[in-house]
Chain A
Amino acid sequence: MFTGLLDTLQRLGRAWLDFFNRLGRGNLFLLHVLAGLPGLLLRVRLLVQQIYSVGVLSLLIILVSGLFVGMVLGLQGYRTLVDYGAEESLGVMVALSLVRELGPVVTALLFAGRAGSALTAEIGLMKATEQLSGMEMMAVDPVKRVIAPRFLAGFISMPLLAAIFSAVGVYGGSLVGVNLLGVDEGAFWSQMQSAVELEKDIYNGVVKSIVFGFVVTWIAVFEGYDTVPTSEGVSRATTRTVVHSALAVLGLDFVLTALMFGEV
């Protein structure tokens, strides 16, 4: 009985220590990666290649999801607003939901699933097949050569993807609202334009997507680099990337939203 309690306590303590240990290593790793970024300016080609695999390859899923999310918003919003005779505000509703919330958050979640998991798996496999170790022995710092370009590419791609998602979503909303359900086109756009503010809504949405891009890419490359170099380790790390990214994005979204829109 008593020893059982002690065991539980010990497990709790160990988990806690492990958590801080990982956090510390993650932070040190981040510093190392950041130190590698200036060198990238001389090697743009490495960056271009990674933007391709992180950004361009995520484009399709972002375009399709953005369109559908916008269309669903149009449908659902219309059904709710029409009861109050306020269907002209559909544009406002669609645009604000997308720009403030859904654009950055859904993009970050999709990004974690599409690009983040791929980053973790790729880096993890490079570790498991001794490619990272081999680079070290060739006097090439793998953090600078392999991790830094991937990190920067994710950091750059994510806000662009979120903007594309929101823009396509607004278009999808207008497609359903204006072309299908017959909301007045002028009202749809003009109400949207008078309600959505550049500094507050768009700017804050972009800030959100930059923060999410930073965090998701950081988690993805760290999990890859920290993988236990076996096939099981790689698969666990990939799962962890997706789960941790999702949790981090949603948690941070609350914090950021509270900071940005809380005190109105």
Chain B
Amino acid sequence: MDRTRVLEIWVGLFVALGLAALFMLAMQVSNLSTLGQGNGTYTLEARFDNIGGLKVRAPVSVAGVRVGRVTGIEYDISTFEAVVELAVDEDYAEFPRDTSAQIFTAGLLGEQYVALEPGGAMEVLEPGDEIRLTQSALVLEQIIGQFLYSQASGDKEK
């Protein structure tokens, strides 16, 4: 009897440890804790001329706080624009109509993300609405090109 008791205690400990490890992976390692407790999301759309290296699953943030993520990227053949689908946590649902979206890069070589900047309008964006004001990603080659061009023209003016 005593032996089976020890055995059962060990097995209980083992199972508890395994479940604790799973729990730790879910809470501590993954994005479960950062995404709210499985709340619903609502979808917004934003059109960009150029999304640079933006990927599906990239973060969406407001004032540096993560509020959602990119769930879809498509190309609209009629307007030649990229259509980006953003899933935003319902907790942060109240965005003014004139909110603008920009694509930034975290650090020099880091991943790209969508930053939303709320405007001052009284009306609120409904699920499925489109964000009108967008600014495309900065593409390094373009910036360098512009820089060289302005340098050159500046030299001429002198």
Contacts and interface: CB of A to CB of B under 8 A. Distances in A.
Chain A in direct contact with chain B (Cβ < 8 angstroms): yes
Interface of A: 45, 48-49, 51-52, 55-56, 59, 84-86, 95, 99, 157, 159-161, 163-164, 166-168, 170, 189-190, 192-198, 201-202, 205-206, 264
B25 interface: yes
Nearest to B113: A194
A193 B31 contact: yes
Interface stretch (B16-24, B91-99, B129-137): B16-24
Interface size class, chain B: 20 to 34
- 5 closest cross-chain pairs (CB), A and B: A160-B18, A167-B21, A163-B21, A198-B30, A164-B21
B11 interface: yes
A54 B80 CA distance: 60
Contacts of B8: 48
Contacts of B33: 193
A85 B107 CA distance: 10
Interface in B1-33: 4, 7-8, 10-11, 13-15, 17-22, 24-26, 28-33
B7 A194 contact: no
Contact of A193 (B19, B21, B30, B108): B30
Interface in B26-49: 26, 28-34
A49 B66 contact: no
A196 B7 contact: no
Q: Say what secondary structure dominates the interface of chain A.
A: helix
Interface of B: 4, 7-8, 10-11, 13-15, 17-22, 24-26, 28-34, 56-57, 59, 66, 107-110
B29 A193 contact: yes
A163 B31 contact: no
Contact of A52 (B11, B17, B24, B59): B11
A197 B4 CA distance: 40
A53 to B, nearest CB: 9
A197 B56 CA distance: 13
B14 A51 contact: yes
Given A160-B14, A170-B29, A197-B30, A48 B7 contact: yes
A167 B24 contact: yes
A85 B106 CA distance: 13
A159 B18 CA distance: 8
Contact of B14 (A59, A159, A205, A264): A59
A166 B21 contact: yes
A262 to B, nearest CB: 15
A157 to B, nearest CB: 8
Nearest to B59: A194
A170 B28 CA distance: 10
A163 B4 CA distance: 26
Contacts of B66: 194
Nearest to A205: B25
Given A160-B14, A192-B29, 18 more contacts: A49-B4, A52-B10, A55-B14, A56-B14, A84-B109, A85-B108, A157-B14, A163-B21, A163-B22, A166-B21, A166-B25, A189-B28, A193-B28, A193-B33, A195-B31, A197-B30, A198-B32, A206-B22
